[in-house]
Structure 1
Amino acid sequence: MRNVEIKALIRNPHEVNRKLNELGLEPPTLINQHDDFQNIPHGRLKLRSFEDNSGELIHYERSDNKGPKLSSFNKANLCAEPCEDMSKVFKRALGFYGEVKKVRHLYILWQTRIHIDFVEGLGNYLELEVVLEQDQSVEDGEKVRTRTNSVISQLNIDRNDFVATAYVDVSANKK
């Protein structure tokens, strides 16, 4: 699976939410997430848990540069064992890299997932993910993302606020 994504700090989340509502999008889905990142040699591995104790195991590789970047990922949905128990196993087996707790407001626009995230200890962020279909190229994703660039402009997101790395890395650099 692949997507093209971009992440940016939001300086005025209430204004961004107001402007997203003005676009006539469906109300957002509210998702509470807790991501535990493991030590691995390549890419990132996170165990994401939700309030109902279900979760996802996600491995992804993505460059750390500001602006649009291709992310390749594999994801497995978990529901048989509580994620808390799985987290203990992973921490013991692989070592613990860090954690991210966030509240996500998910909007959908065309092929784009718009996340308005409140990340505990970091603040508010916008994340756009253009989910690529299997037969779509990165260039196709860029075309879709170009349509979403107008959304970035409408939301008054300053390109200087683009973030290159994952939240877990931003958090580690703050310490």
Structure 2
Amino acid sequence: MGFLKERAKELSRSEGTVIHQQDTFFNVEKGRLKLRRFQKVLSDALGVKGIVKKERHLYLVGQTRVHVDSVEGLGQFMELEVVMKEGQGVEEGEAIAQELMQQLGVKREDLIVGAYMDLLMAAKSG
């Protein structure tokens, strides 16, 4: 992961921003509900499914937010978030992400689906 972080620094031409986050996931029937505020009210109403603690390094490359995350209990991950401009379609966003993946040396088979909470739950049950 050190290589990807260094490559993200090069591409963004910055040291990035370090963000410490704690996401709380709540028990809901379908999907995921994750909020960083109003925790007490939702905890009492829904119950807590789990908590994800991470240190995120944020780099901006063009219109893409590159997140290099260290997730407690899971390890290191990279996430690309293409911030779409008005008039851009999904295909264009995917092309931007694919090009950046190539520049970073990330292969399609390296990709995973799901949220960190899903991975933590799977690790606990497996």
TM-score range, shorter chain: 0.7 to 0.9
TM-score, normalization: structure 2? 0.87
Name the structure where helix makes up a greater proportion of residues. Answer: 2
Aligned equivalent of 1:171: 120
Aligned structure 1 segments of 4 or more residues deviating by more than 6 angstroms: none
When the two chains are superposed, the root-mean-square deviation of aligned CA atoms in Å is: 1.7
Aligned residues: percent identity?
A: 43
Q: Post-superposition shift, 1:117?
A: 0.1
Aligned equivalent of 1:103: 55
2-side partners of 1:40 and 1:132: how far apart?
Answer: 29
Deviations 1:136-160 (A, max 9, x none): 211121222232132232xxx3433
Aligned equivalent of 1:118: 70
Q: Indicate whether 1:21 and 2:21 are aligned.
A: no
Q: Indicate whether 1:88 and 2:19 are aligned.
A: no
- Aligned residue for 2:83, secondary structure, equals strand
**Greater relative contact order, per chain length (Cα 8 Å cut-off, separation 6+):** 1
Picking from 27, 31, 43, the partner of 2:19 is 31
Q: Post-superposition shift, 1:135?
A: 2.8
Q: What is the one-letter code of the residue matched to 1:23?
A: L
Name the structure where strand makes up a greater proportion of residues. Answer: 1
Q: Which runs of 5+ in 2 are unaligned?
A: none
2-side partners of 1:161 and 1:142: how far apart?
Answer: 16
TM-score, normalization: structure 1? 0.64
- Aligned residue for 1:173, secondary structure, equals helix
